[in-house]
Amino acid sequence: MNTLELLRFPFVQYALIVSVLMAVCASLIGVPLVLKRYSFMGFGLSNVAFMGMALAIIVDAFNPMAIVMPFTIAATIILIGFGNRFKKISRDASLAMITVGSLAVGHFAINTFSMRGNITADVSETLFGGMRLLTLDMTDVWQSVGITVFVLLFFVFFYHRIFAVTFDVDFMQATGQRPLVYELALSAITGIVIAVSMNLLGSLLTAALIIFPALSAMRLFRAYKSVIIFATIAAACCSLLGILISIIIELPVTTTIILVNIALFFILLVVDTLYKMLA
């Protein structure tokens, strides 16, 4: 069976569309996160979303997102939005606690209270995705289209302010703007993207899509605009390539996408290093 025939199957089409769109969203929110030194936040918050998902599985929620979403948004706003304003516990320590704690609570809850049979599959699926990505339906596709349009509009309209709030919060505050409003809006959107992406792609791939495209783009480009544009294009292409490879030669789908992203990062790292040595 060749690739073109595979593309006729709706499940392949859905997987391609959803993973490319979520890659675009995750890489967009990833650039300000990485620049603000919050790279690990993506993984921490994915784990919070995992805990939310575990709770949703226990109560057998009709719509798990109704539980996952508020959980993740609240955690994002507390960690990012107010992170620098309360200094009782360092940001690094609070992030580590949340990452480890939410994984443990999620796993504990699923094992102790779940009525469902295959617990290991549930856990593995929520963390690493995989089958979920190949069993999407039209609702999932529309959900990711909706969120992508929303995220793109937010980034187009607030592009300069997202830049300013990433580069220098104090300057915005001193010149009579309201950085907190933009920080909170950006945090809320980060939470929404992570929650949706965790549900569709699993938490590991979500975390990978936040950091790798942004870091790859920073190897090549020196302007903020180019970094943000290249990161989204790179993320989309890596997802496309990763899914095609995994389907054609039967590899685990989400981790293949991550490996493609890692490969791109190292290629660009070598290119950048060689360029600097020659220049």
Partner 1 sequence: MMLQVRDLSIGYNGIAILDDINFCVEGGSYLCIVGENGTGKSTLLKTISRLLKPIYGDISFSVSRKEIGYLSQQTAVQSDFPATVNEIVATGALSKGSWYRPFYRKLEKELIAWAIDKTKITDIKGKCFRELSGGQQRRVLLARALVAAKNFIVLDEPTAGLDPEATKDFYELLWKINRDERVTIIMVTHDIESTMKYATHVLHLQPDDYFFGTNCEYVQFQKGKIT
Q: Which residues bind partner 1 (CB under 8 A)?
A: 35-37, 156-161, 163-164, 166-168, 170-177, 218, 221-225, 227
Contacts by residues 49-52 (CB-CB < 8 Å, ≥ 24 positions apart): 49/194, 49/195, 49/198, 49/199, 49/203, 49/206, 50/102, 50/103, 50/106, 50/126, 50/127, 50/198, 50/203, 51/102, 51/103, 51/105, 51/106, 51/109, 52/195
Nearer to partner 1, 54 or 165 (CB): 165
Residue 38 CB, nearest distance to partner 1 (Å)? Answer: 10
Which one, of 143, 151, 278, 277, lies nearest residue 209 by Cα? Answer: 151
Nearer to partner 1, 157 or 266 (CB): 157
Residue 31 CB, nearest distance to partner 1 (Å)? Answer: 9
Residue 166 CB, nearest distance to partner 1 (Å)? Answer: 8
Q: Is the dihedral of CA 18, 24, 26, 27 positive or negative?
A: positive
Nearer to partner 1, 107 or 161 (CB): 161
Residue 180 CB, nearest distance to partner 1 (Å)? Answer: 12
Nearer to partner 1, 36 or 132 (CB): 36
